[in-house]
Structure 1
């Protein structure tokens, strides 16, 4: 590629990445504004939680009729990037936006990353098709749309950039989309902030030097994170599969899931585990008497909500699970609570989504540089220990986490059905 061609490509990436960033940032700003009001409405009128089953019935009925082509959510985005599938329907953006907001209004335990990613990808793919870009540029812009949505909804543009490149293929960064993803994520974050949307502030991590003893403690910490991550993924998938087998109709599954969430809400006697749970996340950074069982309760609330089919993402609920788990482990291991909560916050989602680099960077953007060496160690260890699992079964696997090379790219969903294909032996190999 000549110098002129490189400049032309850079100009195209900056122009298209900026367009994608503005659209994703504006969509995230609207989404976050609506979420804030939805949460305020629910907390001010908690009686509305009793109608979650009815809301699930209605949302499920609408999605069953209008959302069949987009029901795969984030997995549809990943499949489209890899398989160059048909245009992602633009209606994914408003449908997932409205569905997620309603989930939060009525008390479902869900997050926001899935919604932001799907809005970003569907809007970006609509732009790509209107501009008639090449297949390669379309693929790059879809990754940029994911980055723009993620970075703008959390206020972490660098983490958003890496997430858009890392979550597509397990164990590999898609560098060909680096520039448009970076532009889209940075511009998206700037757009969201310019529209008056703020983000949650967490206590900064303290500076704690690494020692041999602390390294061993982080290993124990990572093993606990991997166990909790595995439990969440397996429980959520089991609820979904069992529900689909017993109750083929989505509205029925969401009605029953809503009933279970309401039952859990009354059983535990608190609303702390409904919605995003941000106040509890912040509390985990500073409360030495934080409930030791909080991470398990939020895990169950979220697995039931998402397994039943309610709309939303996993990030913020898993931040809750991770921060709560980190608080407990920090007290047991003698680690500063704010450091343990911060590392746990990032590591649980890193292991769940197979994105250890993005979440390590995200922790640094949210908590400051002192957290970085600690969170990298735990995220990588938890990523390895959690095995070939993911909240995104469409993720592609080129090499096993143990280093074994596969004969062909394989989705994680295929690994749950069949053994991974082995690489062909070279001539003369034993």
Structure 2
């Protein structure tokens, strides 16, 4: 009885239509929101315990996060120096002995799972990724928390896909729905999180099949966050504005600065990773060594540690050094360069944490620098430095991640309005057109380069392969005259191991296909066996021409259930025939 009830319940819960995927996306979002809040709370507890009660340093937080309090012990620069190394050592133990996939940023692992593993995430990856990131970021590593929360969401989406036994297409959508929910939980930007999830897997495309599930999941997670946090947006942002058309020219300059700096960040990040990968020491020591570099920088410049969101909030609210304009601009540039170094030595050495949040920090500092320069030289334009900071955040991320739509919408969500959209569009276009690199190496060009869309790729590629370019594949072995006897052709078929023959009449004229697999002897035909000719059993099958494509050839073969199709010239003379197996060989060579 219970077994029968369970079978009926499972049958009702199975995914049999897009509507079921949408419903489960909401459930994935709610679950991810709860787990994301729990992870965020534990991370802040660890960080506050280390810095407020251990090191004696109070770190700034964005709105609605962390504990607003002062350090309860005297400041110790020595503990600050070794704290990131200790966190890197603990993270190295987790990623070396328990879960190798937990190291690094985490986004590349999600991208690989989407393209090559049907959207499936290992069950233990989210837990160990979260643990390793708590050690890395909680002890002062320069990385973001979005990586583990994205993997928590991806793991939850993948879990639902596994227990429901869905196909790869639905499984990938559920995984991306979880990713979108994770981003919405971190940045409190549901639409931006959904677009990032479906855009970051490609360089020049978007996973449109998963867009609606991602939106539903992200909004659900955002509602969970709002239920526990009163603050709707992550940052307190003063009013931003665009006063004149001429101001947009400086945003063009900002776009160029973001692309150039993004290239330096990507190159430096990969250089550090390559050096540490080739370093012949125990793996658990590598993130610890990177932590020493971060700790050294933190002793002299506290703003270089952590994810940088709290420092970014202070800069948005007007924190600047008491210096001339060039000193302020230089200060912002220095913080951006220092963040590139500390993030690389945190994540590229094997530590655990995301690079998305540091990218926002770097872009914000670049925007602040350009804004200060523009404000000084053109005071009559009344330029808002905060506007440049916000646009720089989106512009730099767009350049290093190839996510133009997501970057624009994410910033607008953070600001709370679309005032900066024209400037964001300019920076987005520049970054997308000029940038030829990506911090995420797992990205592919578009869906036709992804194993997740092989069927789409088949149709596209085969329709581009014209028969005229492959005349060397045309064969002439199984050509038969219409007056030949069928029993003779049957003898030839045994020797040639063929079942379909192309019928060629006078002057090489095409007269159809003699398919022995579709011809069966009856008592009447047995009596006329020695009299039955090929012309009597031949079928009319549309011939191919040199202007046709391999896609057309496959369509003819499938419609008529034959393994070869005749190719004719301008006067309908037979030039030869194409075999199914030859088409597949040529296709595989083109793919490689």
Query: Contact 1:350–1:356 (CA<8 Å) still a contact in 2?
Result: yes
User: How does 1:28-427 map onto structure 2 within 5 Å?
Assistant: 28-44=36-52, 45-46=54-55, 47=76, 48-49=79-80, 50-71=82-103, 73-85=106-118, 87-196=120-229, 198=231, 200-209=234-243, 211=245, 213-247=246-280, 249-266=282-299, 269-285=300-316, 286-287=318-319, 289=321, 290=328, 291-292=331-332, 293-334=334-375, 335-367=383-415, 368-387=417-436, 389-398=437-446, 409=449
How far did 1:205 drift?
A: 4.6
State the 1:160 CA deviation: 0.9
- Structure ranking higher in helix proportion: 1
User: How far apart are 1:8 and its partner, in Å?
Assistant: 7.5
Query: Which stretches in structure 1 are left out of the alignment for 5+ residues?
Result: 1-6, 400-407, 412-422
- 1:150 Cα deviation after fit: 0.9
Kindly report the root-mean-square deviation, in angstroms, between the aligned alpha carbons of the 2 structures. Answer: 2.5
Cα distance change of structure 1 residues 171 and 40 upon mapping to structure 2, 3 Å threshold: same
| Greater mean alpha carbon deviation, residues 8-17 or residues 299-308 | 8-17
Higher deviation after alignment, 153-162 or 297-306: 297-306
Give the TM-score, by structure 1 length: 0.86
Distance 1:58 1:207, change over 3 A: closer
Counterparts in 2 of 1:296 and 1:71: CA distance versus 1, 3 Å: closer
Residues 362, 393 of structure 2: 8 Å contact kept: yes
Q: Which runs of 5+ in 2 are unaligned?
A: 1-14, 56-75, 322-327, 376-382, 452-462, 470-592
What is the Cα deviation at residue 376 of structure 1?
2.0
Structure whose CA Rg is larger: 2
Distance apart, 1:210 and its partner CA: 5.1
Q: Which has the higher contact order (CA 8 A, sep 6+)?
A: 1
Q: Compute the TM-score of the two structures, normalised by the length of structure 2.
A: 0.64
The 2-side partners of 1:249 and 1:396 are apart by 32
Partner residue in 2 for 1:27: 35
* Residue of structure 2 equivalent to 1:3: none
Q: Is the 8 A contact 2:156 2:175 kept in 1?
A: no
Q: Secondary structure at the match of 1:108?
A: coil
Gap change, CA 1:170 and 1:314, over 3 Å in 2? same
Question: Which whole-Å deviations, capped at 9, do the CAs of 1:184-237 have from their partners, x for residues lacking one?
Answer: 0000111122234755323145221451x3332222111101111111111111
Matched positions, count: 400
What is the CA–CA distance in structure 2 between the aligned matches of 1:70 and 1:100, rounded to whole Å? 9
